[in-house]
Structures are given as C-alpha cells and as structure tokens.
Amino acid sequence: MSVLIFDSNGELWHTRAEELGLDYISMPYYIDGKEYCYDLGKATDFRKFYDEVRAGEIPKTQALNPEDYKRILTPYFERGEDVFYVSFSHKLSGTFQSLNLALQELKEQFPDRKCTVFDTRNISLGAGIQAEEAAKRKQAGASDEELLAFLEDFSRRIHVYFTVDDLMHLKRGGRCSGVAAVAGTLLGLKPMLTVDKEGSLAVIGKIAGRKKAMRTLAERVIDELRDTGCSVYIVDADCPEDGDRLRDLILEKRPEAKIVRQIVGPVIGSHCGPGTLGVIFVGDKID
C-alpha cells in the first residue's frame, strides 16, 4: 500500500488536498528574520507577506536537509506504507539532493519500503495539477505503476505561462541579469515565462505593458486549452483584480473552461514577487 504525497510548492489549495487524501511536505520560507512553512493556505497570512515584500523586505527560501526528509518519511515507513511523491521540478532546487541522501539512509533502515519520486518538471500548480489528477486516479484504485504511466504522459500536456510585474525579483533569483532587469523595468516590459520540458524557467517573450501581457495570457488559454475536464488555474501574487479580469477575458471566448482562481503562495511569491499573474491548463502534448 502506498501513500500519495506532494509538496507545498505544488500550491494545490489545502481544502482540495484534503478532499483528495493528499499528504504534503511544507516547504520553508523566511521573511523579516522569521521562518515559516507554507501550509497550502490553511493559516497563511498572505496580506502580511505581500505587504512586507512591497515595503522592501526580501524573502528567502531554503532547501530541506536530509534530516528533514528522514523526519517526514520515517513515519510512513514505520507504518509499513510505501510513498509515491509527486514533486516540483528538480531543476529548480537543490532540495532533491538532500532527498536522495535521505532515501539512501532510509533504504538501509527500511529495506522493504519504497519511495517512488515523480519529477513533474514543473512548479506551482503546474506541479499541483499533476498531483490532483494522480490523486483522482488513486482514489479510483490505480496502482503505482499505473500512476507513473499516467503522469509520464500527462506531465507533457501541462501548459504554464506567467508574467511578473517587477523584473527585480527575477534578478535576485538569478533568472534575469541586473542590466536586463533595470532596462526592462524602465521600459515597462513584462517578460512572458514558461517552464520548459526539462523543468527550467524560460523567457518566451517580452511584452510592453501590463494590459497587453494580460491579454497575451488570455490568448494562450483561449488558443491552447484542450482538456476542459481539468481545471484551468489562474494564479495571482496579490493582484486579485487583475486575476479576475484575466478570468473574464478567457470566459468571453472559452465559456466552457472550468476556472479556479488562487493566490500565489509565499515560497513561489518569494521568487516572482507581487503582481505576478499566471495560467496553468491542459493542452496538446509538448515535445
């Protein structure tokens, strides 16, 4: 018997995770000298976090260490349960080196137990939607092997696009050079980003102005959405009016879309900054 888990960088809302019987690993972030762990919105003070960032506080994130992973996984193994972990992109964090070290040690202690790790090669709800759909199938009785086969195909159909309001947040995270960030900010350019097939962030365009960037996001969903049985996630980093407007633009042309609105959590928000807008949906397979 296995337990399906994901991490809070997958950003599925806590009530949805509970409905699906999904356990999760809380990922840490630091702001104003204090450590927090993201709980999928259960008790998160989003307003306080984003107000502090806007006021000049610089949040940070940190990888878990092997002892953290051993503490998290040991109770499952002690109960005789295997683990199927649907993780965020391994390209975007060093935390998975710690996970591998922990699993090597746990294998010696629990030789009969297994931890299957599936790299979604995605982040935020690009990973969360994969955990969500896997959980639906597990509830219907799918085996670990069937889940793995499903995810290998489904992961290549996830389309993720987002735009940030302030390039300086990407600059601090090493995703944009200092010169490009300053020049882009002065010119009002809004980069359009995606997650490539390897699981890394990639800039696919620079758009002049917020309104045009919003329309471009809407057009991506309108043109590329294929599976309306799955949710279309619209996420915003504390700019709900823009997120609602983006939703309305999409529904004008694709009224059948099942849209879910959600705020970006503090871990992801630490890297993209306030004002970020993104869309996550299922389209054609990306090769």
Say what the pLDDT of residue 176 is: 43
Statement: residue 9 has pLDDT above 80: yes
Q: What percent of the chain has pLDDT over 70?
A: 92
Residue 235 and residue 208 in contact, taking contact as beta carbons nearer than 8 Å: no
23 contacts: CB under 8 Å, gap ≥ 6: 3, 4, 5, 17
Phi, psi of 215 (to 5 degrees): -65, -35
Beta strands 28-31 and 60-61, pairing class = antiparallel
Confidence of residue 76 (pLDDT cuts 50, 70, 90): very high
Indicate the DSSP class of residue 26.
P
In the chain, what are the domains? 2-155 (3.40.50.10170), 157-282 (3.30.1180.10)
8 A C-beta contact, residue 82 and residue 116: yes
Enter the tokens of residue 239: 């700019």
Which residue matches tokens 């300086």? 168
- Arithmetic mean of pLDDT, 41-49: 97
Give the pLDDT of residue 287.
Answer: 78
Over residues 17-25, mean pLDDT: 97
pLDDT digits (tens, 9 = 90+) for 92-117: 999 999 999 999 999 999 999 999 99
Tens of pLDDT along 175-229? 444 433 333 443 467 889 999 999 999 989 889 899 999 999 999 999 999 999 9
Provide the pLDDT for residue 182: 35
Q: In the predicted model, what is the mean pLDDT of the chain? A: 93
Burial of 137 (0-12, 13-18, 19+ CB in 10 A): middle
Number of CB atoms found within 10 A of residue 193's CB? 22
Q: What percent of the chain has pLDDT over 90?
A: 87
Q: Which amino acid is at 269?
A: G
CA 203 to chain centre: 17
